[in-house]
Structure formats: structure tokens, C-alpha cells
Amino acid sequence: MSSVNLDQTLNTAAVAHATEHHDEGEHRMFGFIVFLLSESVIFLSFFAGYIVYKTTTPAWLPAGIDGLEVREPLINTIVLVSSSFVIYFAERFLHRENLWGFRAFWLLTMAMGSFFLYGQAVEWAGLPFGFTDGLFGGTFYLLTGFHGLHVLTGVLMQGIMLGRSFIPGNYDDGEVGVAATSLFWHFVDVIWIILFILIYVWQ
């Protein structure tokens, strides 16, 4: 949903007057922030649901399971959170018009995001419970899955921005696409930190 929305936002028909280009970009960024605020409420709703379930369900963990392994997800977390700094450096390079520096750090962010997704897939494959195993299984896969979908969206957006960096004159009218992708990435990170605390730390 988010990638579709962003793409439409970014592809919005250019206005006739060259002077309005800058405004247009600022509108897009503003609109994108409004969208992210709205999107965050879905996560907040899921979090609220998780907290209600966890505090009110008598038999929270399915039979035969005594908790989640934390080590691998912690490595994943560190990688994802660090990538927020990496993408920041990528943006700095772009500001200094060092395109190759931008591309290198941007690609590194994508690699870290992909590593996170891979790590999560490995974790999912090794878990002894499924989506339909009670509220614990349901909320675990719902939260991590919905977040994972956002990570995937972020990586795809980054791929598009990487491709666009090879279009000559792509940044003449500003860097809204890059800024929005980067903001989205920070958003996904913050959500993950809350999610990690709720699911893995608070057991």
C-alpha cells in the first residue's frame, strides 16, 4: 500500500510553471509526512491489540513453547538500526553532489535491509508455532509480518531511487524521492524498535 501511494505521490503530474517546482516538491514531502503519521496509527493499533492480548490472555504461550530466542533477532535489530545511520550518510553525500558516494552508501542500506528480511525469514522458518497457533502465534506473525512488508517496501523504494540516480538531471528539482525514502526508512526503524521491545524484550 505504501509503495503504491508513494509512487503516485512522486509521479504527480508536473505543473506547468517551472517556478512552482520547488513548492510541488515540498507539498509532496508534507503529504508524505501526513501519510506516515496516519500509517503509524495502524501500527499503534496492532501494538495496543498486542498489549491487551498479552495482559489479558490466561495461556499466552502455546503449549510446549517457553519464549522466543532473542540472539538472532538482536543481531537483526542492530543491523536494521545501524542502516538508519548509513542512509543518513548516503543523503549527506547526495547533498554534496557526490553521486558515487551516495550510491555506495545507499546500496549498503539496501543490503542491510535485505539482510534483515533474510534473517527474519530464517527465524520464521525455524519457529515451532504458526500463524494460527493461538493469540501468541497470531500477533507475532501479524506484527513482524506487517513490519516486514514495510521493510520490503522500503528496500523496493530504495531500488527505484538508486535506478533514478542514473537519470541525468534527476536531482535538478530537489531530492524529494530520496528524502521521502529515507524518512520512510527511519520510520520503519523506529517501529521495529518498539516492536522488538514489545515482542522480544517483554516476554
Stretch that binds another protein, among 78-86, 108-116, 131-139, 175-183 (CB under 8 A): 131-139
| Interactions with another protein, residue window 37-56 (CB under 8 A) | 37-42, 44-46, 49, 52-53, 56
Least gap, CB of 38 to another protein (angstroms): 4
CA atoms within 13 A on the CB side of 49: 13
Any idea what the Cα angle at residue 162 is, between residues 156 and 167, rounded to 5°? 130
- Exposure string of 36-52, with b = 16+ CB inside 10 Å and e = fewer, is beebeeebeebbeebee
Nearer to another protein, 29 or 111 (CB): 29
Which among 197, 190, 198 is positioned nearest to 39, based on CA atoms?
190
Q: Does 59 bind another protein (CB under 8 A)?
A: yes
Number of residues that bind another protein (CB under 8 A): 40
- Let me know the angle formed at the C-alpha of 23 by 18 and 29, rounded to the nearest 5 degrees: 130
Query: Crossing angle for the helix pair 134-164 and 99-126, nearest 10 degrees?
Result: 160
Q: Which is nearer to another protein, 57 or 203 (CB)?
A: 57
Q: What is the rounded distance in angstroms from the CA atom of residue 45 to the CA atom of residue 24?
A: 32
Nearer to another protein, 125 or 132 (CB): 132
Q: How far is the CB of 28 from another protein (least distance, A)?
A: 8
Angstrom distances, CA of residue 26 to CA of 10, 92, 173: 11, 19, 11
Q: Candidates 4-12, 96-104, 119-127, 167-175: pick the segment binding another protein (CB under 8 A).
A: 4-12
Binding site for another protein (CB under 8 A): 1, 5, 8-9, 11-13, 23, 26-28, 30-31, 34-35, 37-42, 44-46, 49, 52-53, 56-59, 131-132, 134-135, 137-139, 142, 146
